[in-house]
Amino acid sequence: MSTVVIIPTYNELETLPEAVKAVRIAVPDANILIVDDNSPDGTGAKADALASADPFVHVLHRTEKTGLGDAYLAGFAWALEHGFEIIVEMDADGSHPASRLGALIGAVSAPTVPGAHYPGLAIGSRWVTGGSVVNWPAHRLFLSRGANAYARIALGINVKDSTAGFRAFRAEVLRGIHLEEVNSHGYCFQIDLTLRVLDAGYTVVELPIEFKERETGESKMSKNIVVEAMKSVTAWGWQRRFGKKNSTSSS
């Protein structure tokens, strides 16, 4: 099935070439879409150079940095317009193992049980059995585990890593979950889409990965992203218990 790996970038000049190389080695038949938010460090120009040298690499330039969620939504729109059947999210900083791309793509390319429905979303998960995190300080481990535990309890879902940013969707799923209504960012964006996929009746599968903390550059995590996620998850959980089930439609 035709696949595109979307890699959003903002000041990823040092890590982007290796990320692209790793994807091309792991899944040679997949295309890559780099979505650059007008990086001041020259990442956009580097992306253009990579695309000029490889017909499987494409670049979408955005004029400003408005958040990870907006970057992925722009990438999704491009991918759907160009007819890709499997759409993958992946970071540019080397934290997501390209060696697991084949497994993620395969999980949404075929049913897990003969005659069963295809999973709509496959997540590269840090917190299922076999998953792990390398080189994270204790406070980051606590934050991620806590955020995911809170999301499970508040939303009543059974996904252990709903904040994960390494994931593969079937295109038909993205077409059916009202992306035009999504207005979330960071951790919150990933939880939002996970919840929408589940509420639309699709299966979510989690595959273990080894997540490595970036070695260069700066993390995009911020206090505002965490606060947004906590507020939104609390509101969605309240609505799911006492209001309409598809609570993210107003997010």
User: Which token pair is 71?
Assistant: 């970057």
Cα–Cα distance measured from residue 122 to residue 67, given in angstroms and rounded to the nearest whole number? 23
pLDDT of residue 231: 83
Could you tell me where the beta strands, DSSP code E, fall in the chain?
Answer: 3-9, 31-36, 57-61, 86-89, 121-125, 132-134, 167-170, 204-208, 210-212
Across the strands, what pairs with 125? 208
Cα–Cα distance measured from residue 123 to residue 107, given in angstroms and rounded to the nearest whole number? 9
Cα–Cα distance measured from residue 210 to residue 126, given in angstroms and rounded to the nearest whole number? 7
Closest among 100, 9, 108, 110 to 51, alpha carbons compared = 9
Pairing of strands 167-170, 86-89: antiparallel
CA atoms within 13 A on the CB side of 139: 3
Token look-up 């490595």 returns 212
pLDDT of residue 223: 60
Contact between 80 and 171 (Cβ < 8 Å): yes
pLDDT in tens, the chain (251 residues): 799 999 999 999 999 999 999 999 999 999 999 999 999 999 999 999 999 999 999 999 999 988 899 999 999 999 999 999 999 999 999 999 999 999 999 999 965 555 556 789 999 999 999 999 998 888 888 888 888 999 999 999 999 999 999 999 999 999 999 999 998 876 789 999 999 999 999 999 999 999 998 666 555 555 666 677 778 888 989 888 887 654 454 44
pLDDT of residue 250: 43
- Burial label for 41, CB within 10 Å (0-12, 13-18, 19+), is middle
Cα–Cα distance measured from residue 207 to residue 100, given in angstroms and rounded to the nearest whole number? 9
Across the strands, what pairs with 206? 123
What's 237's domain CATH number? 3.90.550.10
Cα–Cα distance measured from residue 56 to residue 125, given in angstroms and rounded to the nearest whole number? 27
Contact between 13 and 77 (Cβ < 8 Å): no
- The residue segments making up the domain with residue 144 are 3-250
Domain count, the chain: 1
pTM of the predicted protein model: 0.89
